[in-house]
Amino acid sequence: MRKLQDTGRDDHTHDPFLKVADKFEYHVILVPMGSVGVITLLAMVWLFFGIYDAVFVNWDVKNYHAVQVLFGMVMTF
């Protein structure tokens, strides 16, 4: 009985054009994913500063709009 050896490669990696296409696809996907990550991080920082500002700096219980905005920020977080 013959054993099959696992070479750890896919069949399409022998083709040089497909190797280049795989590398190109990898780098093209990094750009949108990196952009989404940076935008998400900036949005979280902006949200944190908004919550901090609303609670510790400008807290006025009688201003219903500010309370609603704070509630929306906390629920978004």
For 44-74, what is each residue's pLDDT tens digit?
Answer: 898 888 878 877 877 777 778 877 877 887 8
In this prediction the pTM is 0.58
pLDDT mean across residues, the chain: 79
Residue 19: the pLDDT is 82
Average pLDDT over residues 23-52: 90
**b/e for 27-36, b at 16 or more Cβ within 10 A?**
eeeeeeeeee
Per-residue model confidence (pLDDT) at position 53: 81
Contacts of 48 (CB under 8 A, 6+ apart): 77
Q: What per-residue confidence (pLDDT) applies to 76? A: 77
39 or 48: which leads in pLDDT: 39
